[in-house]
Chains A and B, each alone.
Chain A
Amino acid sequence: MLLTLITFIPLVGLLLIGLVPKSNTTLPKWIAAAVSAVDLALVGHLIANFERGESAMQFVENFTWIPQASIFYTLGVDGISLPLLFISALLMFLAVLASWRVENKPKAYFAMLMLLAVGLNGVFLALDLILFYIFWELVLVPMYFLIARWGGERREYASLKFFIYTLAGSVFMLVGIIALYLLKGSFNVIELIDSGLPANVQWWLFGAFFLGFAVKVPLFPFHTWLPDAHVEAPTAGSVLLAGVMLKMGTYGFLRIALPILPEGFASWQLAIVVLAVISIIYGAITAFAQTDAKKLIAYSSVSHMGFAMLGIGSATIAGINGAMAVNVSHGFVTGMLFLVFGMLYDRLHTREISKISGVMVTMPVIGGLFAFASFASLGLPGLSGFVGEFLSLMGSWQSAAIPYYLTVIAAVGVLLGAAYMLWLLQRSILGKPSELVEKNAEPLRVNEFLSVAPLVVLIVVMGLYWSSLLVFTDPATSVLVQVVGV
């Protein structure tokens, strides 16, 4: 029952928030904080009881749901889903804390966050393709409302674009799911592993899943929804979008597309790697050109997720572990970047880099946190960002299917990443305080401190002790690599 609890406790929160009278504007956030804290504690309990050397699914729950169509309610967790479930629960809790001062319709706002939590947790736990699809699409609705109602100026455009793009990808995934079912008679992710379908069928099916997942990751050229959505979303929305939702895409590759369709993957491998490398370089170069800080962080996400896709594309143990590390680290780091920038935005009400300078002078703590997150983002050894990029590049170098020059080009991306992040720091955090920064300086608040402190600790721990993550992922990735067997 543990996994069901983790998934659906936020739904209880949603109902409780629904019962709060409209006049009471403080209770919803307390309910949301309590519920997401409980959820996080349950995930902690799960991690503590998780059998680390085991590669199979654990805590499996299996109930018949629609027997006539062999649709089951199946949940389970393994080394690939557990870290992602953890960032989902953690970032949800932190996002609630970071939203403490939301005054525009707090009831609806926190209700949407709770609904989002159900979808995000569920995606990483579902082992039935239909159930997976339900959670996958469930995420769209609250995120649409979060952007459309609490977003920035161009929120209408951004929310619609976000919805249509991701829906477009996922309906093709649905066709893929239906086709898999008709061919193999099952929706169960585990039963379908190494489906043994003919290579040309696998090629088509992989294409269908690829569209669904690549939009979410997002892989160049399917990334154009991301900068708009990230920029216009409220802080909590950006944190969850970048920190958790993008991982749904990479998770989909690791959980569904690769193990079920290994031969399809083999013929798509080079395309994935090439697109990953383009994403790395393109994201980084585009980040240079941004004048909007949130947009810069958004493009840096495209670049970082490119590393995750490179690791997945390599189909080596190091590469896939690297992809997992990028996923987790990007969740921490980009989550933190958006949180800290959200603090600045609350004070300054601008996202223009040119108007922000000298934050370090007037708000040293916020400036310091921003600098810390930037260093983690650019891959400073000793912080979490380094682990994933290093392992992904290593895996890509090891893989026989990937030409060496592609790995070399990808490695240039690390350099570019350092350059645009440092340049951002130099322009906005250092220097003489601009008038805007001078006037609106305000020290760090308690809820703000609480919302980033855990991330600081985790970024350092993960950067120093890689094994704290790899001990979970390694057994599952080894099996995955065997199945894919490229």
Chain B
Amino acid sequence: MLLIPEALLVFATLRALFSDKLPFGDRGGAICGALVSVIGLVLIALQPTGEALFGGRLVFDPASKLIRMGILIAAALWFLWLVGRRSGRNREAAAIGALVALGSLLMATSVEIITLVVALELATLPAYILVGYRRDSRRALEGALKYFLLSMTTSLVMLYGLSLVYGMSGTTMLFDITGGDSTLAMIAALLVFTGLFAKLSAAPFHFWAPDAYEGADTWAVGFIATVPKMAGFLVAIRFAVALGNGSPVVPMLLAAAAVSSMILGNLAALGQRDVRRIMAYSGVAQIGYALIALVAISEATISAALYFIVAYSIGTLGIMLAFSERDARLSLMAGLSRRAPAAAVAAAALLFSLIGLPPLAGFMGKLYLFTSAIDAGQLALVLVGVVTSIVSAAYYLRIVKAMFVDAEVDTEDEEADCVEVAAMDGSATASTTAVIAAVVILSAGIFGSAIIEYFGFVIR
């Protein structure tokens, strides 16, 4: 019963692959994916928490419930966008998207190292096809190659760390792993977290993300940068709990990553001219805020960080999908408010959420996060977060300004650009998707208390 959403996604993958032989043709896979995601979302909402499967290898606790629901909301939005995608060849995208979502769902529940690694690869390997989805574009292929190589390398580093963990504690079950302060444990923690940080694009292992994202289409980046990240963050929490127990190194590693992510991410984003690069660095920065919670682990910080990461992911996905209309350079975003007013307003609301303006979910997330972190004695980290969020307003507002204030550029004098612009994907459902995302973010902010209650989170 617990795995029905996963089973449905497997079905959606197969359905998408055989789309041309089935009703609705090329779009069939996306339609099926959207339906399956919504059904899965309802099923997960109805599931009880506290159960486990396969001898405790998969657990269904409140944290995994929230993350799984977040993944399926994001997936549903993305499939909905895909239904309206104009340039054809949608069936592979639908199949790959379903696989990524499936891997992410499994990642969120698995607490056994081998299961976890398999789930992780399932979530990240298909993603590189999405990065290089435009086969005729050099930059897309370059991005895909970068993504693939980095993904492999970090997986290997992490696997090596995990093998040390196994050698140390003689078990692959996460809850039985003992951290400790031996040299071996420190090396293992270092390797595991290096891999995780790279996957989450946390500094100082974030450098691959902007380059890889820039080559890909906005809609593809939006998906692969958010869906696996929610699950990956939960995995990072689980490792921080398991390996951080009694270890002096793990909190230091996490604090260093948090501070460098917040500072590097926010400062680097300031100079970017491409929305995908801005959002890549914004992702680095936002992961930095979330990592504050892992430095001082308590029920409250973890609850806050989970809420925060889901709010970030859905918001970012909505923004990326709203911008999927054209090439993602800021200069081409000009006048979006005229061409697609609903999408522009929704994207603006989501950007304000990322800045942390109330009453949007991004604000509530930051409020809970900072409150619980100060309560846990991490005032210094919170101050770094607060100051860097001011910086973040500058680049998020540049996107808002481009949409609402700048006049539309004349693309004719840049003929090379023209070709590229024409090749870009639009979607008839882009506005709808962005508006739904904005409504989700707004209501998640206003009705935050209901969400907290529902998942039994602790807020301090």
Residues on the B chain within 8 Å of A140, using CB: 357
* Segment touching A, from B161-169, B210-218, B366-374, B421-429: B366-374
Contact flag A167-B375 (CB < 8 Å), given A66-B449, A68-B453, A133-B358:
no
- B359 located at the interface, meaning its Cβ lies under 8 Å from any Cβ of chain A in the complex: yes
Kindly identify which residue among B355, B363, B393, B401 contacts A156, using a CB–CB cutoff of 8 Å: B401
A193 CB-CB contact with B under 8 Å:
no
B386 touching A160, Cβ below 8 Å = no
- Inter-chain contact B449/A181, CB cutoff 8 Å: no
Question: Which listed residue (B382, B383, B404) contacts A148, Cβ 8 A?
Answer: B404
A171 to B458, CA, bound (A): 24
Q: How far is the CA of A168 from the CA of B352 in the complex (A)?
A: 15
Q: Is B358 a contact of A167 with CB atoms below 8 Å?
A: no
A182 interface residue per 8 A CB criterion:
yes
Asked if B7 is at the interface (CB within 8 A of a chain A CB), the reply is no
- Is B394 in contact with chain A by the CB < 8 A criterion? yes
Given contacts A167-B390, A175-B386, A182-B374, contact A141 B352 (CB under 8 A): yes
Nearest A residue to B352, CB-CB: A141
Docked pose: A134 CA to B356 CA in angstroms: 11
* CA of A156 to CA of B457, assembled, Å: 42
| Contact pick for A174, options B352, B367, B387, CB 8 Å | B367
Counting CB contacts under 8 A, is A179 at the interface?
Answer: yes
Other-chain contact of B371, A67, A137, A155, A181 (Cβ < 8 Å):
A181
Q: Which residue of A lies closest to B371 (CB)?
A: A178
B159 at interface (Cβ–Cβ under 8 A)? no
Contacting pair B401 A68 (CB below 8 A)? no
Size of B's binding interface in residues, CB under 8 A? 34
User: What chain A residues lie within 8 Å of B400 (beta carbons)?
Assistant: 144
Residues B444-460 near A (CB distance < 8 A)? 448-449, 452-453, 457-460
In the assembled complex, A130 has its CB within 8 A of some CB on chain B = yes
- Would B449 and A175 count as touching, CB distance under 8 A? no
Option from B359, B368, B393, B452 in Cβ contact (under 8 Å) with A163: B393
B404: which A residues are within 8 A, CB to CB? 145, 148-149
Residues of the B chain whose Cβ atoms lie less than 8 Å from the Cβ of A486: none
Bound complex: CA A155 to CA B406 (Å): 11
User: Is residue B409 within 8 Å, beta carbon to beta carbon, of the partner chain?
Assistant: no
- Could you tell me the distance between the alpha carbons of A160 and B355 in the complex, rounded to whole angstroms? 13
Asked if A67 contacts B358 (CB within 8 A), the reply is no
A171 touches B405 (CB 8 A): no
**How far, in angstroms, from A168 to B393 measured CA to CA in the complex?**
10
**Complex: A148 Cα to B460 Cα, angstroms:** 38
Do most interface residues of chain B lie in helix, strand or loop, or is the interface mixed? helix
Interchain CB contact under 8 A, B357 and A168: no
Closest A-chain residue to B391, C-beta based?
A: A164
A41-82 residues with Cβ-Cβ distance < 8 A to B are 65-69, 71
Instruction: Decide: A171 and B389 in contact? CB cutoff 8 A.
Output: yes
B397 within 8 A of A: yes
Residue interface mask A160-173, B partner, CB < 8 A = 1? 10011001100110
| Bound form: Cα–Cα A175–B385 in Å | 11
Contact check, A69 vs B368: say whether CB atoms are below 8 A apart: yes
The answer to whether B393 and A134 touch across the interface, beta carbons within 8 angstroms, is: no
B434-452 interface with A by 8 A CB criterion:
448-449, 452
Q: Given A65-B449, A178-B371, is A171 in contact with B359 using a C-beta cutoff of 8 Å?
A: no
> Which residues of B lie under 8 Å from residue A69 when comparing CB positions?
368, 371, 449, 452, 459-460
Residue B394 contacts which of A134, A160, A174 (CB distance < 8 angstroms)?
A160
Whole-angstrom distance from the CB of A160 to the nearest CB of chain B?
A: 6
* Residues in B neighbouring A144, C-beta threshold 8 A: 397, 400
How distant is A399 from chain B, measured CB to nearest CB, in Å?
34
Q: Kindly report which residue of chain B lies nearest to residue A147, judged by CB atoms.
A: B405
Contact in complex: B374, A178 (CB < 8 Å): yes
CB contacts (< 8 Å) of B390 on chain A: these are 164, 167-168, 171
* Closest Cβ–Cβ distance, residue B113 to chain A (whole Å): 34
Contacts of A137 in B (CB 8 A): 357-358, 363
- Chain B's nearest CB lies how many Å from the CB of A344? 26
Bound together, the chains give a CA A160 to CA B391 distance in angstroms of: 11
Smallest CB separation, A77 vs chain B (Å):
22
* A145 to B404 CA separation, bound complex (whole angstroms): 8
Is A483's beta carbon under 8 Å from chain B? no
Distance of A436 Cα from B349 Cα, bound (Å): 43
Which residue of chain B lies nearest to A168 when distances are taken between CB atoms in the complex? Answer: B390
Which residues of B sit under 8 angstroms from A156, Cβ to Cβ?
401, 405
Contact of A171 among B375, B386, B452, B453 (CB under 8 A): B386
**Interchain CB contact under 8 A, A160 and B449:** no
A128-164 interface bits toward B, Cβ cutoff 8 Å, 1 = contact, 0 = none: 0010011001101100110011000001100110011
Known contacts A164-B390, A175-B382, A182-B375, A130 near B397 by CB under 8 Å: no
Closest 5 CB pairs of A and B: A66-B449, A134-B358, A68-B459, A168-B390, A69-B459
* 15 new A-B contacts at CB < 8 Å, known A68-B452, A138-B358: A66-B452, A68-B459, A69-B459, A130-B358, A130-B367, A134-B358, A148-B405, A163-B393, A167-B390, A171-B356, A174-B370, A175-B370, A175-B382, A179-B374, A182-B375
A-B contacts, 24 of them at CB < 8 A, read A66-B448, A66-B459, A67-B449, A68-B449, A68-B452, A68-B457, A68-B459, A133-B358, A134-B358, A137-B363, A138-B357, A140-B357, A141-B352, A149-B404, A155-B405, A156-B401, A160-B397, A164-B394, A171-B386, A174-B367, A175-B374, A175-B383, A178-B371, A182-B374
